[in-house]
Chain A
Amino acid sequence: MIRLALLLLALASPARAEEIVLGLSRDQVAITATFDGSDILIFGAVHREAPPPVNADPLEVVVTVAGPSETAVVHRKERRAGIWVNTDPVTIKGAPTFYAVATTGPLDDVLGITEDLRLAISTSRAIRAAGNRAFETADHVAALVRIREAQGVYRLQEGAVDLDRETLFRTALALPADLVAGNYTTRIFLTRGGKVINSYETVIGVRKVGIERWMFDFAQERAPLYGLLSLVLAIAAGWAASAAFAGWRR
């Protein structure tokens, strides 16, 4: 229904020549006790009224998925009197817990610098856009991106988006097992010659369900009781093991 409405909207606005019509294999991810990652297929079509412009730059697609943000403090280690100490702490606001960029080609080719500045698409631009002054934090932001890329939670997947006859595109996104619950903002950009000609934004909801949800809420909302329960369980388990082994002496 919504998709139909979007389609009608697209038809009704002649100013835009090429528009995204998007589909997701799923827009909800449920984290259960046995959750160990999830694959999401992001696919769509480019809707046109007229045939694609002749002699124009080729059409490219950029997809970004951003997890919930957090504030992080990044320290730099320095040697003082032979010992490595943390110095120079910089607070970085709005660092996403997960950030993936998938493109049809090398990011520098498909996306111009000014467009990246304006729309905060590449990982470091997205972090800087959250209100971090570039001059003072550049090294620290670069370090944050480098460390998280090594952890696999920040990704740049150039060429991971398949584009068929400048109309149908698709990419598979593997969400890791250590996924933070929250809203995952998904953005799709169409570009020609580095310029963004159309964009689309949607949200993939990642939620804990069942016992995971229950335990998390319990720990948050009734913390003293939760603490007591964890102690009671610990003591009971200690006693049970001791009782079970009581027959086996020396």
Chain B
Amino acid sequence: MQLYLPIAEVSVNIFLILGLGGLVGVLSGMFGVGGGFLITPLLFLAGIPPAVAVATSTNQIVASSFSALLGHLRRRTVDIAMGSVLLAGGLMGSALGIVVFNWLKARGQVDLLVELSYVIFLGTVGAMMFVESLNALIKSRRPGARPKRRKHYWVHALPLKMKFRVSGLYISAIPPLLVGLSVGVLAAIMGVGGGFVMVPAMIYLLGMPTKVVIGTSLFQIIFVTGFTTMLHAVTNQTVDIALALLLIAGGVIGAQFGTRIGARMKAEQLRILLALLVLAVCGQLALGLVLEPSELYEIQPVTAQ
């Protein structure tokens, strides 16, 4: 069944878009990533113009993240205090990131920088997570292995200590603020919600339990993507509600399934899967940079006259 999208100005198959939304929704619920790094390229493949795909996917992420967040709230796996601190840092970071982005754009080659930072960042994060969670998985299989003691870093000596009850942490507010800030900068430059960066940062830098991390990441993603959707709608008029509703219909249902799948899995298994996903996206991007393209020219439409 075909539907003509009023903003994207293309005709799409309804079931294809529903399916795409559902797939990303499952991932969103399982891992607490918004899925922006996945849905946008998938929409390109479905023939949606890039500007519309980017703007509309942020709107879809709001819906699927909210659906998944409610699931996590019911299970009490959201640290709202931590989420708020991260969000505060994130919003500051976004503002800073937009300044940096415009500065880079004025100097040209911003696309290349975005892709390179994607590859480096995803590669590092993915590889680290993969090795760590594989080790954890092997250890947990071995009978009689002692549970690892919580380590104390310099992070724990900073002032402005706050109690993060759900995470079971009593640490300074400065590290989460900084994590939020740097993810905000990255998110603004790379044009994504930043869940795939935020989740590992919360696990490894802040030492939060994996199950709490996902709900907390979702909490913060909703606000960041909501803000981005408004920006796109007002400045570029590229949010396609018809497309968003189709993606959402698939996405919110997928997110519910994802939350339940996530709740049944071990933390190490979840982390290893997310690591593989991140590495796969990284590898795909890296190939695109290194392999000779079949078409050496590329068209970027500017304005309709």
B-contacting residues of A (Cβ < 8 Å)?
A: 31-37, 68-77, 79, 82-86, 91, 94, 97, 140, 143-144, 146-148, 177-181, 208, 211-213, 215-216, 219-220, 223-224, 226-231, 233-235, 237-243, 245-246, 248-250
Contact = CB atoms under 8 A, between A and B. Distances in A.
B256 A241 contact: yes
Interface of B: 2-4, 6-7, 9-11, 47, 59-60, 62-67, 69-71, 74, 109, 111-112, 116, 226, 229-230, 232-234, 237, 239, 241-242, 244-245, 248-249, 252-253, 255-256, 260, 263-264, 288-293, 295-305
Contact of A84 (B62, B244, B290): B290
A226 B4 contact: no
Contacts of A208: 6
Contacts, number: 200
Given A35-B4, A140-B297, A237 B233 contact: no
A contacts with B: majority SS: mixed
A73 B298 CA distance: 8
Contacts of A177: 2, 4, 10-11
A8 to B, nearest CB: 36
Nearest to A225: B233
Contacts of A249: 74
A147 B298 CA distance: 8
Contact of B305 (A75, A94, A211, A245): A94
Contact of B229 (A213, A231, A248): A231
B292 A231 contact: no
A214 to B, nearest CB: 8
Contacts of A227: 229-230, 232-234, 239
B contacts with A: majority SS: helix
Given A86-B112, A227-B239, A239-B70, 6 more contacts: A74-B298, A227-B229, A234-B229, A238-B62, A238-B63, A241-B253
A215 B3 CA distance: 14
Contacts of B6: 208, 211-213, 215-216, 219
Contacts of B234: 223-224, 227
B58 to A, nearest CB: 9
Contacts of A86: 109, 111-112, 298
B4 A34 contact: yes
Contacts of B232: 227
A221 to B, nearest CB: 9
Given A86-B111, A216-B7, A228-B230, A147 B295 contact: yes
